[in-house]
Structure formats: structure tokens, C-alpha cells
């Protein structure tokens, strides 16, 4: 009976995880092929010879970076009319007839580019097709503006780079300090203090991230701004420092347990040959547990990469491509937390956010698989040895 209960619990957990993974990718994959504004029809003046535009061409025309001549049209700047700027052409409380008349007048301009729902389009216009390449938009752009009108910018590189900066800074703190903490606790800490310290580690690991983020916002952010003479203290560097600090218990615990697991016979042999404690630590124990250290570092990187609230509060939350860690950034998890609640279900913005979630899932999975592979190879080598 107990065996069946454990089996049911194990399979239930497995099936729930599979279901969550399937749901994540099912909602995220439409970002690769779905057109972001299916309800809009793009149209031009009948005298305009253009019949097809790329998404980048539409944005270039909208921003005045190119005129129609660059795409085979008249040598005039485009006059874009879409839902977000329609109110500048319409008087307050305009009737349906007035709206149709004003739109018809606008459509008489040979440089017009309309991006409106079909019921609003005047009759005397020529619909054109706009191409959208999901892979290119996601991985070929350096800008993140998923609500930009009439077509969004959904480049993931600013978010990926922000995540990499925060993770890198966090690892630069957590690896050396975690290693030092583990060596001290395993080798030098009095045994009477061992369990209190372990309990303290568990308490630190269990601190709510929002509390850590609030403390960082009040204390660490002003300190970083003052010490480094920055214009703002909300940077990738600040977020990395805080995430490295809250990940220290994980790194230190894993390395400390590995140090404790070094075979006693090897340690006694080292002392018997005249090695000092430090020589035994540096030349025997650390090389022996090197795969465990690498595993701990990868698991810590996964912990940092998936953190949300701390980054959201102290990183500046700016989806810009950061070239240094001393700039504001936004990470993948922070983007999900900041935008998912405002994205209408089924919209392109919604699917892109789930795509980011799938991307984060794959990155975290890769780190965990790498840690598992290193540990498995290490255990296999020990068994064969």
C-alpha cells in the first residue's frame, strides 16, 4: 500500500511537470509564426505602387527613417495612421459618419499608410501585405517594445544580455565567497558552532526575495551609486551583488558537504606524509571535489538566473542592451513578472512572454543538465577508480 502511494505521488508530480512544460511551449511557440496584429489591415493610396512591406520597413516609415521612395513608392515621407494616433485626427465625440469622412480625406493623400481594422478602412484604398518573420523579429532585433504601434519590437537580446550580466556578477561573488565559507565551516569552525551555522544558512536561504529586494533598494542601491559615482544605483551590478549574497548558502552548503565526503583514508594518508592542513585542503581536498564545485556553481547560476523580485526592484528594470554591468537592465524573469499581468490572453504580447518563459526554462534546464552530467561523470570515475 505504501509503495503504491509513493508511486502515485511520484507519477503525479512527473505528469504535472510534463503538463506545465507542454502548456509553456504551446503558448510560447505562436510567437514564431503568428502575426502580431491580425485584426489590422495595412493599406495605401491606389496610386502608390507598393504592394508588400516588411515589418522593419513599416517601422522605418513610421519613424521617418525612410520615405516611400526607398520601397518603390512616391518620393515622399509616409503619413502613418493607426489606432494609437487616430485620435489626433478626430475631434472629440465624433460620430461614425464624421470618422468615415475624415478617414476618407486622409486616404486621399498619396503618401498615406493606414493600419486600421477593416471596418474603419475607406473604400478608396489599396490593401497591401506586411510580412512578419518571428525568428528574425525575436533574435534579429536589439530592441524590446512589445506594445509599439503599429508593429511591436520583440528583440530578446536586451533581456538575455541583462540576465547574463546579473548572473555573471552574482557568480563572481558567490563562487569565491561560497568556497571560503565552506572551507571555514568544514575545516576550522568549532564543532559546537557547526549546527547553529547550518541553521543560519537555512534561514538566510529562506529569506523572501522581496524583503531582500527592499533592503537592497534602501541600502545597497544608494551605496553603489555613491561609491562608484554612478548616475543611478539600479544596475546589473547591484542586482548581481544581491543575488550572489542570497545564493551564498546554496553554494556554501553544497561545497561543504562535498568536503565532508572526502574519504577519510585519503586525508589521513596526506597527514601521514607530513602535509599540513592547508596543504591537504589545497592539494588534496579541493582537486578531489572540483567536479562538485563546478556543479555547485552551475546550480547557483540557475538560481540566480531564475530570480525575479530582487532583479525587478534593484536592476533599473530597463529593457535596454547594456554594454557594461553598471547600466540599468531587465532580465527574462523580471520581464515576465512586469508584463504578463498586462498582456491580454491570446495576444501576440502574451505569446512572446510565454516564449521568454520557454527560453528561460531551456537555459535553466541546460545548466541543471550540465551540473548533472559533471556529477555523474565524477561518480562514475570514482566507482571505476
Query: How do residues 225-262 score in pLDDT, each as one tens digit?
Result: 999 999 989 999 999 999 999 999 999 999 998 999 88
CB 223 within 8 A of CB 234: no
Residue 320's Cβ-count burial label (10 Å; 0-12, 13-18, 19+) is middle
Band (384; pLDDT cuts 50, 70, 90): low
**Residue 265's closest CA among 282, 284, 289?**
284
The whole-number average pLDDT for the span 13-25 is 87
Band (203; pLDDT cuts 50, 70, 90): confident
Whether the predicted pLDDT of 49 surpasses 90: yes
Number of Cβ atoms within 10 Å of the Cβ of 196 = 10
Q: Which 3 state secondary structure label does DSSP give 15?
A: helix
CB 320 within 8 A of CB 328: yes
Relative orientation angle of helices 348-384 and 332-339, to the nearest 10 degrees? 150
The secondary structure element, H or E, covering residue 117 is strand 112-117
pLDDT of amino acid 14: 80
Relative orientation angle of helices 157-183 and 332-339, to the nearest 10 degrees? 120
Put simply, whether the predicted model's pTM sits higher than 0.75 gets the answer yes
The whole-number average pLDDT for the span 95-110 is 88
pLDDT of amino acid 93: 81
DSSP per-residue string spanning 268-329:
HHHHHTT--HHHHIIIIIHHHTHHHHHHHHHHHHHHHHT--HHHHHHSB---S--SSTTS-B
pLDDT of amino acid 114: 93
pLDDT of amino acid 238: 95
Band (372; pLDDT cuts 50, 70, 90): confident
**Higher model confidence: residue 329 or residue 197?**
329
Alpha-carbon distance 113 to 51, whole Å?
12
pLDDT of amino acid 193: 87
Least confident of 11-15, 286-290, 333-337: 11-15
Label the pairing between strands 144-145 and 153-154. antiparallel
Q: How many CA atoms lie less than 13 Å away from 33 in the CB half-sphere?
A: 4
Would you put residue 141 in left (φ > 0), alpha (ψ -120 to 50) or beta?
beta
**Higher model confidence: residue 60 or residue 371?**
60
The residue to which cell 489590422 is assigned? 40
**Rg of the Cα trace of the chain?**
29
Whether the predicted pLDDT of 209 surpasses 70: yes
- The per-residue pLDDT of the chain, averaged, comes to 89
CA distances from 261 to 84, 96, 112, 172 (A): 64, 78, 74, 26
Whether the predicted pLDDT of 212 surpasses 80: yes
Output the furthest CA–CA distance in the chain (Å, rounded).
Answer: 98
The residue to which cell 569565491 is assigned? 176
pLDDT of amino acid 381: 63
Highest mean pLDDT among 11-15, 36-40, 193-197: 36-40
Least confident of 50-59, 91-100, 181-190, 246-255: 91-100
pLDDT of amino acid 200: 84
Number of Cβ atoms within 10 Å of the Cβ of 201 = 18
CB 217 within 8 A of CB 313: yes
Alpha-carbon distance 176 to 166, whole Å?
16
CB 152 within 8 A of CB 349: yes
Whether the predicted pLDDT of 9 surpasses 80: no
The whole-number average pLDDT for the span 100-114 is 90
Residue 385's Cβ-count burial label (10 Å; 0-12, 13-18, 19+) is exposed
Q: Which 3 state secondary structure label does DSSP give 80?
A: strand
CB 354 within 8 A of CB 24: yes
Whether the predicted pLDDT of 30 surpasses 90: yes
pLDDT of amino acid 382: 62
Grid cell, residue 162, equals 541583462
pLDDT of amino acid 16: 84
Q: Which domains does the chain have, with CATH numbers?
A: 40-132 (3.40.190.10), 157-384 (1.10.3720.10)
Band (2; pLDDT cuts 50, 70, 90): low
The whole-number average pLDDT for the span 352-365 is 93
Whether the predicted pLDDT of 76 surpasses 70: yes
Amino acid at each position: 500500500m505504501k509503495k503504491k502511494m509513493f508511486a502515485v505521488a511520484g507519477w503525479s508530480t512527473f505528469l504535472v511537470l510534463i503538463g506545465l512544460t507542454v502548456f509553456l511551449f504551446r503558448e510560447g511557440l505562436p510567437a514564431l509564426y503568428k502575426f502580431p496584429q491580425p485584426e489590422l489591415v495595412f493599406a495605401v493610396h491606389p496610386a502608390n505602387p507598393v504592394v508588400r512591406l516588411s515589418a522593419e520597413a513599416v517601422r522605418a516609415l513610421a519613424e521617418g527613417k525612410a520615405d516611400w521612395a526607398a520601397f518603390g513608392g512616391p518620393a515622399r515621407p509616409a503619413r502613418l495612421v493607426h489606432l494609437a494616433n487616430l485620435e489626433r485626427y478626430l475631434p472629440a465625440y465624433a460620430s461614425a459618419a464624421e470618422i468615415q469622412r475624415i478617414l476618407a480625406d486622409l486616404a486621399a493623400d498619396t503618401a498615406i499608410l493606414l493600419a486600421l481594422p477593416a471596418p474603419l478602412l475607406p473604400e478608396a484604398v489599396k490593401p497591401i501585405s506586411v510580412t512578419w518573420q518571428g525568428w528574425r523579429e525575436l533574435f534579429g532585433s536589439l530592441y524590446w517594445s512589445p506594445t509599439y504601434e503599429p508593429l511591436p519590437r520583440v528583440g530578446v537580446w536586451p533581456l538575455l544580455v541583462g540576465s547574463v550580466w546579473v548572473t555573471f556578477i552574482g557568480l563572481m561573488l558567490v563562487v569565491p565567497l561560497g568556497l571560503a565559507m565552506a572551507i571555514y565551516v568544514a575545516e576550522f569552525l568549532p564543532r559546537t558552532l557547526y549546527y547553529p551555522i547550518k541553521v543560519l544558512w537555512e534561514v538566510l536561504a529562506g529569506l523572501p526575495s522581496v524583503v531582500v529586494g527592499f533592503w537592497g533598494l534602501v541600502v545597497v542601491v544608494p551605496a553603489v551609486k555613491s561609491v562608484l559615482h554612478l548616475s543611478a544605483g539600479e544596475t546589473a551590478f547591484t542586482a548581481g551583488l544581491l543575488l550572489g549574497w542570497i545564493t551564498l548558502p546554496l553554494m556554501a552548503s553544497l561545497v561543504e558537504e562535498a568536503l565532508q565526503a572526502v574519504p577519510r583514508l585519503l586525508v589521513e594518508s596526506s597527514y601521514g606524509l607530513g602535509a599540513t592542513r592547508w596543504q591537504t585542503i589545497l592539494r588534496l581536498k579541493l582537486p578531489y571535489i572540483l567536479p562538485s564545485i563546478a556543479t555547485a556553481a552551475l546550480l547557483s547560476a540557475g538560481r540566480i538566473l531564475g530570480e525575479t523580485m530582487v532583479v525587478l526592484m534593484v536592476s533599473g528594470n530597463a529593457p535596454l542592451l547594456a554594454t557594461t554591468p553598471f547600466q540599468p537592465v531587465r532580465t527574462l524573469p523580471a520581464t515576465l513578472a512586469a508584463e504578463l499581468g498586462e498582456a491580454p490572453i491570446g495576444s501576440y504580447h502574451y505569446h512572446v512572454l510565454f516564449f521568454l518563459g520557454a527560453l528561460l526554462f531551456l537555459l535553466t534546464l541546460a545548466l541543471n543538465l550540465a551540473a548533472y552530467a559533471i556529477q555523474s561523470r565524477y561518480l562514475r570515475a570514482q566507482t571505476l577508480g
